[in-house]
Amino acid sequence: MAEPYDSAWLLEDVSAIIQQQYFPEFTEEAPGRFGSVVNKYFKPSMDAITGDGKTMQVEIAPGDTVRFGTDPLGPFASPDVFQAGSIKVRFNKATPSSSDFSHVSASCQTNDIDLEVAGRGSIIDFVERMFKQIMPEYDEKLAVHRHLSRSATVGTVADTPKQNNSFNMSQATSGSVTNVTGARFTVSAGSISYFRPGTRIDIYNGANLVVGNVAVTDSNPADNSIGVQYVSSPNTVRNSTGPLTLTNVASGNIIYYSNERNAGMYSLGAYFSAPVASESFIGGVDRTTSGYRWMIPVTTRPGATAATLTKSMVDDLAIAMGYRQEDEYGVVVTTSPDLHQKLRNEYTEAAFLNIPDGDNRLKRFANFGTMGLNYQHPVFGLVKVMSDVLHVPNTVRVIVPETWRSLYYGFRGLKMMPGTKGGWYRVTETTPNTGLSKVWKCDWYALQTDWCSQPWKNGQILNVSAT
């Protein structure tokens, strides 16, 4: 540059005096928490269960004694009586396979200095933030697991992985996937919302672990792909494991949250799963046997070739369910967002009702507030049509909220264990018998399951798509 600029001093010439400027907000760049839709289906049981469980006694079939005839002086019909049964939600500490309650746990751990400093010198108190994120994560993970089957599968690798060097699957580099390059692949058979950044997952080939505790770097809802990285961190909690590498991840591999394979809870996903011969369902019962087939929801299109969702498919399910219940009862039609939009297009906007707040017709859906669309169905009566980003794909469910309950053992909800400073307690030093360390820990746990008193009142449509 020329004079006078050559003789002018710039701030950059005395850069040592520059003070770094920061925005005052600590801005969240990860997606918000999900789960507000499905968690509203379940009313918490008022009394915690104790002992070895709780038994529900049921009428499987009414008596069959009324008969018609032609002889005015004929004999009376043979007497009959209703058929009864029972099912027990079980709790067993000694034999987990004989217990129907899921163990949910969480923890925080930090050091005494950061606990005492309490965020001074930082934009936020990271210890407080870590502590306060437990309950929102519990609510979201609970909602996710309510949709999952007992296997706890959160998705399937749908194609050959590429390197994790692009946000878009189509632009990522093919081949040469390693633990260093990371991997990117499309996910099927699960919601993309299950994979928020930072989530740690295990990837299995059948019953064999391929890689464990790999971290999700990001998810792209536009193409249903996720990026994962193999982590070697100073904090062992985040360290990824073998026995193989990301090179060995292949199409068809199954994805689970870390350490959760075959540890799903009994909830919507379990009840709506197809029963298999000699299964051990909640209560240890086999739903394929005649005495427990009332536990199977109505299902249409099982095993059918995938097809575009139409209004007539919903009608087919409604007609089938109508043969089981004459009275109108409050139902919620739930789908993933793409199928929800397809239903809106099928019925058209004019078919949905705008019901003002306070209208008596909405009392049965008071727990949903103003969420969802209102539709008057000839079989179900007034229904809510709800979109749930956590919903399993390619499936429409018809839920009767009044039949679902959340059960707890011993105490309700996520319990924080007692400590010496609130819920915090000091853990022992690395060397045994040398006292307590400067590390503080806080733990939570819950024992819970979901219960459906009348599964046969609920239904689903399988193998449908939005296009």
CA 325/CA 321 separation, integer angstroms: 7
Asked if pLDDT for residue 171 goes beyond 70, the answer is yes
pLDDT digits (tens, 9 = 90+) for 303-325: 999 999 999 999 999 999 999 88
Q: Confidence band (pLDDT; 50, 70, 90) for 267?
A: very high
Q: Confidence band (pLDDT; 50, 70, 90) for 2?
A: confident
Domain boundaries, the chain: 30-63+83-149+264-467, 151-263
pLDDT digits (tens, 9 = 90+) for 381-391: 888 999 999 99
Please give the pLDDT value at position 14.
95
Cβ atoms 296, 284 nearer than 8 A: no
Give the pair of three-digit tokens for residue 201: 């997952």
Asked if pLDDT for residue 361 goes beyond 70, the answer is no
Range with the lowest mean pLDDT among 24-28, 79-83, 132-136?
24-28
pLDDT digits (tens, 9 = 90+) for 126-146: 999 999 999 999 999 999 999
Asked if pLDDT for residue 437 goes beyond 90, the answer is yes
In sequence order, what are the beta bridge partners of 90? 53
Q: Does 327 or 461 have the greater pLDDT score?
A: 461
Asked if pLDDT for residue 369 goes beyond 90, the answer is no
Please give the pLDDT value at position 80.
96
Asked if pLDDT for residue 218 goes beyond 80, the answer is yes
Please give the pLDDT value at position 380.
86
CA 215/CA 182 separation, integer angstroms: 10
Burial of 460 (0-12, 13-18, 19+ CB in 10 A): buried
CA 452/CA 458 separation, integer angstroms: 10
Q: Confidence band (pLDDT; 50, 70, 90) for 358?
A: low
Cα torsion at 433, 434, 438, 441 (round to 10°)?
Answer: 0
In order, the DSSP letters of 27-95 are: ---SPPP--TTGGGG-EEPSS-B-TTEEEEEEEEE--------S-TTPPPPPP---EEEEEEEE--SS-
Cβ atoms 139, 260 nearer than 8 A: no
Asked if pLDDT for residue 47 goes beyond 90, the answer is no
Q: Confidence band (pLDDT; 50, 70, 90) for 6?
A: confident
Please give the pLDDT value at position 357.
65
Q: What percent of the chain has pLDDT over 70?
A: 96
Q: Confidence band (pLDDT; 50, 70, 90) for 326?
A: confident
Asked if pLDDT for residue 370 goes beyond 70, the answer is no
Asked if pLDDT for residue 185 goes beyond 80, the answer is yes
Q: Confidence band (pLDDT; 50, 70, 90) for 379?
A: confident
- Report yes or no on whether pTM surpasses 0.85: yes
Asked if pLDDT for residue 360 goes beyond 70, the answer is no
Please give the pLDDT value at position 111.
97
Please give the pLDDT value at position 349.
86
CA 318/CA 246 separation, integer angstroms: 46
Please give the pLDDT value at position 32.
86
Please give the pLDDT value at position 359.
67
Residues in CB range of 116: below 8 A, 6 or more apart: none
Q: Confidence band (pLDDT; 50, 70, 90) for 327?
A: confident
Q: Which whole-number Å values give the CA distances from 157 to 162, 239, 384, 419, in the listed order?
A: 12, 22, 33, 42
Architecture of domain 151-263: Beta Barrel (2.40)
